[in-house]
Structure 1
């Protein structure tokens, strides 16, 4: 979103797809962990938020997407269709960096709705991008780990900037994607220059999704959170 504003665009609304029951859907397309706090994004930015429950699943797993009823991509189509009708938006800003699978599906939806997809981070050098985001004042914490070298007890809840040296080591040693584009980890932003207030997590719990001996998969479930004034 920061890149969109820098390029001269105005952000008029936020859109999010949430899970029906579970926190973690293992979706090919969407991050669902941390969904409990999404409404605070909109409040922090003083923007309207449009949400839709994910009803579909990954029916079409080939690289190229063709419209298929029941696919999770169609949930995105319906969500953005509603946003376009109510807000008269002309473009959609997405944070895709490396995944052609995700990019092609967003482009498919945007083409059908006559919307322009904006992917300013696409194929940027990832270590440099992560450093740039940290330097720009993006305060994001790790809320899911799913990689060799990332431990639930040690890394969940940690500021990405604080564990950057560790991520660099994992990238060099094991080929871990330093921005988490391979699903190695997921984040939640607590503060950035676009927020009028910052998000504070008051309490959370660790949920073990897969207790693998070498690469356990676990995530944070937010229990209580609030907005606070920024210094």
Structure 2
């Protein structure tokens, strides 16, 4: 066994599911339990959290991801235990739902919000607050994920104080998006949100240092409390951003994490995002896709390609890159009047 922080123990390297679980446990107090503790104190009761017992957490972290999730069925060990103990199938096979959804309280709040003239329940709830929750910097590369993540946090009454972007000289960087990165300046002007732009030669060992330096500059200039990023599936990016934020005492928000790919694209349309393909590099995507707008038709085509070829419909595997031309955070719409495609024959990418 190898010791991990906070007295939790695991007998092997954490897999991708357990890494998420472990990260969440370490941040549970500031994300969930602080709120629960305040509610408990207001009602003059003491909060008890048996599922955060170190022995229990260590045991749970020693269950492999493949045992926790099987064929898209989550919480597999708990469901199997329920059957073993004689619980009816209606309970053991019940879909995973948060209390507010199962009780329909969420639907009720949405209904009240619309009745009172609010577009979203987030804006309705925001009206009860005197000031924004926290001041955030948004990691933006010009594409859909960063902007959508920033929009989600803004809807939750977080204040987006600045955009943070990195210009890498290494076009094959795993950390930073490179196609059309110069257009982030245009997006900053369109949204009227100031930009902090950092640069890096793109060497693996230096990228994090340069990112930390840039985020630190943004923190000092705008008095930031945290960072929001558009990580969807990449543990490589998310873990490194989290590491930098932890070292600077900043909270990290990843509202898109593990979101279903096609669902994200549909939500972008629902929220009036105008997005084009700025780079393509995958079988099934011809040159004609370059500059295309993401709409219901292109989402349907991406769904077919996902089923046929197995690539990521949200472009998380580098299949394509995107550029946001308009969204609810913009004061002005960006128009592309002229563009010249460039082809890289090394990776068969068209920008």
Shorter-chain TM band: 0.7 to 0.9
Q: Deviations over 1:180-226 (max 9, x none)?
A: 011110000000011000111121111111267xxx3111xxxxxxx
The aligned residue for residue 9 of structure 1 is 158
Structure 1 distance, partners of 2:252, 2:228, is: 6
The aligned residue for residue 217 of structure 1 is 349
1:157 aligns to 2:291 (yes or no): yes
Alpha carbons 2:168, 2:176 under 8 Å: kept: no
Bigger RCO of structures 1 and 2 (CA < 8 A, at least 6 apart) = 1
TM-score scaled by structure 2? Answer: 0.56
Alpha carbons 2:277, 2:292 under 8 Å: kept: yes
The aligned residue for residue 214 of structure 2 is 79
The aligned residue for residue 116 of structure 2 is none
Structure 1 distance, partners of 2:317, 2:346, is: 19
1:87-166 matched pairs, under 5 angstroms: 87-152=222-287, 154-161=288-295, 162-166=297-301
1:168-187 matched pairs, under 5 angstroms: 168-187=303-322
Structure 2 distance, partners of 1:100, 1:33, is: 21
Q: Which has the higher strand share?
A: 1
Q: CA RMSD in A?
A: 1.4
Between Structure 1 and Structure 2, how many residues are aligned?
201
Alpha carbons 1:126, 1:178 under 8 Å: kept: yes
- Offset of 1:56 from its aligned partner? 3.6
The aligned residue for residue 43 of structure 2 is none
Alpha carbons 2:275, 2:322 under 8 Å: kept: yes
Q: Which has the higher helix share?
A: 2
> Aligned to 2:183, which of 12, 37, 58?
37
Structure 1 distance, partners of 2:302, 2:339, is: 23
Structure 1 distance, partners of 2:259, 2:182, is: 30
Structure 2 distance, partners of 1:10, 1:35, is: 24
Alpha carbons 1:42, 1:49 under 8 Å: kept: yes
Alpha carbons 1:56, 1:75 under 8 Å: kept: no
Q: Deviations over 1:6-60 (max 9, x none)?
A: 222000111111134xxx711101111112211111111112111011224224x
1:191 aligns to 2:326 (yes or no): yes
> Aligned to 2:167, which of 15, 18, 25?
18
Structure 1 distance, partners of 2:184, 2:273, is: 16
TM-score scaled by structure 1? Answer: 0.83
Give the gaps of 5 or more residues in structure 1.
60-70, 220-231
SS in 1 for 2:159: coil
Greater Cα offset, 203-212 or 94-103 = 203-212
Structure number with bigger Rg: 2
SS in 2 for 1:52: strand
Q: Deviations over 1:137-158 (max 9, x none)?
A: 1111001111110112x10000
